[in-house]
Structure 1
Amino acid sequence: MPSRFRCLLALLAGASAALAGTSARAAGADDYTLDPVHTRVVFLVEHAGFSRAMGTISGSSGTLRFDRDDWRTAQLDVTVPLARLDLGDAKWNAAVLAARLLHAEKHPEARFVSRQVEGVDADHAKACGDLTLRGVTAPLCLDVTFNALKRHPLPPFRRTAGFSATATLSRKAFGIDAWPTVIGDEVKLLIEVEAVRSRGNGDNPQAPADAEPADTGEEGLKPDEAGKIEDGEGEPDPALPASEVP
């Protein structure tokens, strides 16, 4: 066989192997939906050199694609509702949401979309992507810590992933440059995320053994299971309605 044909066959074989590897990695990833109750953004920014003002934003929503064994397949798309911002004071909140700063009336949401996720080790990764804030899109990288991936101990017992993340951004990079002698430019972010596995993934025969129960009623529970903890991680509480668990 001529050498040029051998080289061509080798290249084709290598490409096929690479595609097969990519497909295998993607097949191991599951889709998750962010839990807005247990996902929160904390931000810290210098206040005139005296202290760092601390605020929170709750109610974030979005999607996550995640494979515990391969960080490279991870994809995150999250929307943060700026109207949920809370600095602990109504006047402070109004000032930060006003046109000179976040201009939340015109730009009510911030959005982060990951472009690349690289593992540092089994439990840590750097997720880089684009943050859109106040109508400006700029790059942002998150340092991510993996906390847990397991069946939630409370109803409706869904398989849940948990993460912590940190990041630092310049507010000037997003056109937020008012009050420079009072408000610092550097904003530190502390982020806590819980994400619940989407329903379709439970049909995978290779899903982990502690995946959520089959869809048998109220959010995957049998009629007599609401409000009970069935997996040995706590005492059953028949008086606790599923709608009131934390």
Structure 2
Amino acid sequence: MLPRRRLPASCLPALLLALASRPAAAGEPQRYVLDPVHTRVMFAIDHAGFSKAIGTVSGSEGSLHFDVDDWSSARLDVVVPMTRLDLGDSGWTASVFAPRFLDVKRYPQARFVATDGMQRGTGNRGRACGQLTLHGVTRPLCLDVVFNKAGRYPLPPFRRTIGFSATATLKRSDYGMTSWQSLVGDDIDLRIEAELFRSDADAPAPTQPAPAAGDPAPPPND
């Protein structure tokens, strides 16, 4: 019997990196975690008919179980910190934080959960339907999804990464926000850009993110 040859220690880091970045076997959903730096929610809403007010929300957390070849197995759970909403002006942002609108003191998070997979359409397009909880109200919502790319990120730590773009429209009145209807539109257009990296270990569930330094504090009263 020939003696077994040991792998030189200098080769181990390269081997581990190759294993970590290797695509998953077909038919096996992998767990991906949102990259909060490269994930952003953008929204647009009518402002007295003059323009569309545009804001963004950063710092979302969550996970996606996803198989590139079988979208029907997808499971998504995302928490969006409404305290990180930004309209580009501290006073305007604070007015949206107030009880008459988002009431972020009582409802600091929104959450979207989709457990029944994604419906794949033509090419890289599909749909993810689930439940959105916003302002303390939970209602069904469907996202039109574009699967942009899957691959190894080109910079250290070279993690397996996937990226999506998504759009949806909802009515704020469906979530109990009915103030200032003559000034602020009811329809909210959403655009989401998301990157996720593969997580081989179970990560902790999303937690309520603290407001970033410099973010306006929610007003105590309307």
CA contact (8 A) 1:43 1:190 kept: yes
1:1-246 maps to which residues of 2 (within 5 A)? 27-116=27-116, 117-200=118-201
Aligned-partner residue type, residue 102 of structure 2: L
Q: Relative to 1, partners in 2 of residues 1:37 and 1:48: Cα closer, same or farther, differing over 3 Å?
A: same
Whole-angstrom distance in 2 between the partners of 1:89 and 1:31: 37
CA contact (8 A) 1:111 1:132 kept: yes
Q: TM-score if structure 2 supplies the norm length? A: 0.77
CA contact (8 A) 1:46 1:184 kept: yes
Q: Relative to 1, partners in 2 of residues 1:26 and 1:151: Cα closer, same or farther, differing over 3 Å?
A: closer
2:9 matched residue in structure 1 = none
Q: CA deviation at 1:103?
A: 0.4
SS at 1:199 equivalent: coil
SS at 1:157 equivalent: coil
Which one scores higher on RCO, CA 8 angstroms, separation ≥ 6?
2
Once the two structures are overlaid, the 10-residue window that deviates more, 37-46 or 110-119, is 110-119
1:6 matched residue in structure 2 = none
Whole-angstrom distance in 1 between the partners of 2:64 and 2:155: 21
Which structure has the highest strand share of the two? Answer: 2
Deviation digits for residues 193-238 of structure 1 (CA, Å, limit 9, x no counterpart): 000000249xxxxxxxxxxxxxxxxxxxxxxxxxxxxxxxxxxxxx
Provide structure 2 residue ranges, at least 5 long, that are not aligned to the other structure.
1-24, 203-222
Q: Quote the sequence identity (%).
A: 55
Aligned-partner residue type, residue 142 of structure 2: C
Whole-angstrom distance in 2 between the partners of 1:186 and 1:29: 35
CA contact (8 A) 1:41 1:189 kept: yes
Whole-angstrom distance in 1 between the partners of 2:193 and 2:124: 15
Q: CA deviation at 1:122?
A: 3.5
Q: Which has the larger radius of gyration?
A: 1
Whole-angstrom distance in 2 between the partners of 1:126 and 1:38: 21
Deviation digits for residues 25-58 of structure 1 (CA, Å, limit 9, x no counterpart): 9951100000111110000000000000000000
Alignment RMSD: 1.5
CA contact (8 A) 1:112 1:129 kept: yes
Whole-angstrom distance in 2 between the partners of 1:112 and 1:125: 17
> Size of the alignment, in residue pairs?
177
Aligned-partner residue type, residue 54 of structure 1: I
Q: TM-score if structure 1 supplies the norm length? A: 0.70
Q: Relative to 1, partners in 2 of residues 1:39 and 1:176: Cα closer, same or farther, differing over 3 Å?
A: same
Which structure has the highest helix share of the two? Answer: 1
Whole-angstrom distance in 2 between the partners of 1:200 and 1:94: 38
Aligned-partner residue type, residue 138 of structure 1: R
Whole-angstrom distance in 1 between the partners of 2:139 and 2:146: 23
